[in-house]
Amino acid sequence: MNEGFEIRSYGAAMTVTGSCHLLDTGTARVLVDCGAFQGSRDLFALNRDPFGFDVASIDAVLLTHAHLDHVGRMPVLVKRGYEGPIHCRPATRMLAEHLLLDAAKLQNEDAERAKRRGKQADPPLFDENDVRATLSLMRPIEYGTPFEAAGLTVTAFVAGHVPGSAGFLVEVGGRRVVFSGDIGNERKDVMPDPAPCPPADTVLIESTYGDRDHRDFEATIDEFAEVFKEAARRKGKILIPSFALERTQDVLFHIARLEDQERIPVMPVYVDSPLASRVETVYAACMDELSDDVRAVAASGRDPFAPRRLTYTKTVDDSKRINASDEPAVVIAGSGMMTGGRILHHLRAHLDDSHTTVMIVGFQPTGGLGRQLVDGAARVRIMGEDIPVNARVVTINGLSAHADRTELLRWSEPAGPSASFRMVHGEPTSLRALADQVAARGQGAAVQPSEIALPEHGRKDEGGE
């Protein structure tokens, strides 16, 4: 520990999932995030393994934001004995409550369904009581106001990724250590731009898009509008698989704004996701976390995330009625990667209809249903049925909530010429590419090793996109 500290990663090292980094100063042990592994079955199985560190030795936890790949194992940590403080933004606590309770509910439903089918069911990783116990340990923090965690001085800064997202500057015996969290895409309209990296000695930096840049954002919105106009001409449904947190709100914001600009026709818009409706209440309550553009719309007395004919479904019967209707409409439903959820029912019912448009607005993992559709499969299997694909499938790139390569390099430069970077939260090619770019400008750069064995060379879908 010649630096006076060690940083060991038990997730989101050599992969984009399961964020979990341990800062050990010798006298203090602070965990930054405790996320769930998402993606393949092998990766998901890691959630049941021991953490790789002694839970009882952890003095404090810092949460960067509420995506499940950053908070999804917090109830497991608490269930296994953690009783210390969990420092996070108020919006992160509010969102985590909805996402974690939903995750507990889904796990219980999956286990019950398996039992009814006579299959051996793994017990849920955690239940509602574990979530409530986790929430009770969360302590609110402010951006830019130093606070103490396990005797260390910590300052949170704006990450611009989702409401409540933060990076952390930790002062360790005269050394400055930065944990970037997930850095926001500065060209998007809903979140504010991320604050630049503080001057630092060591920076743990996310590298999701370390090897490439996003498509031009205005071109992305132009394409978005064209898809809506073409779908209206086809007089069919637009099915949008979407994450309940962030991507759904982005899509709604752009639909509403394009309607106001008369660039797209007004259609019924259904958000068929109970979780997304709960997340929307957090956006409404946390306007100070959002961009100036969004707050200006809200200040005018309008909901920035409300197209003119918006409906949130409340029951399964509501969902079934939308599914059975031939009315041209927009249906936004989870899951964003088409691994489950209500979107599967809509796809099963309408993929064979040439009037249907499937608008894919997020990354789709290799081998999954979404990837098959992106790659032009003529037939797909959904819920045990073989379905012909006659629908138009369109991929809208450029809506990612993550900074791209150019933005990551710009964000990291203020750390200073002597800063040393450790690349995390990326697939191996992205990690190495960003490390090479940082090293080329004369700063130290290395790919952070994983303390746990990862299947599939660490590859996964971008669950927290």
Tell me the CATH number at 366. Answer: 3.40.50.10890
CA distances from 192 to 281, 288, 292, 403 (A): 19, 10, 7, 12
- Tell whether 48 and 163 lie within a shared domain: yes
Indicate whether 194 belongs to any domain: yes
Spans of the chain below 50 pLDDT: 1, 457-465
- Tell whether 286 and 341 lie within a shared domain: yes
| Chain centre to alpha carbon of residue 298 | 24
- Tell whether 33 and 79 lie within a shared domain: yes
| Burial 326-336, CB ≥16 within 10 A → b, else e | eebbbbbbbbb
Indicate whether 1 belongs to any domain: no
- Tell whether 188 and 302 lie within a shared domain: no
- Tell whether 288 and 328 lie within a shared domain: yes
Domain-ending residue, one of 374, 395, 416: 395
Indicate whether 463 belongs to any domain: no
Per-residue model confidence (pLDDT) at position 463: 40
Indicate whether 464 belongs to any domain: no
Per-residue model confidence (pLDDT) at position 196: 98
- Tell whether 194 and 231 lie within a shared domain: no
Tell me the CATH number at 184. Answer: 3.60.15.10
| Chain centre to alpha carbon of residue 408 | 17
Structurally, how many domains does the chain consist of? 2
Q: Which two tokens stand for residue 224?
A: 């978005």
- Tell whether 148 and 221 lie within a shared domain: no
Pairing of strands 86-88, 60-62: parallel
Per-residue model confidence (pLDDT) at position 462: 42
Q: Which two tokens stand for residue 397?
A: 């790139």
CA distances from 270 to 255, 341, 343 (A): 12, 15, 12
Per-residue model confidence (pLDDT) at position 460: 45
- Tell whether 31 and 174 lie within a shared domain: yes
- Tell whether 324 and 423 lie within a shared domain: no
Cα Dmax for the chain: 67
Domain range spanning residue 426? 6-212+400-458
Indicate whether 465 belongs to any domain: no
**52-67: pLDDT as tens digits:** 999 999 999 999 999 9
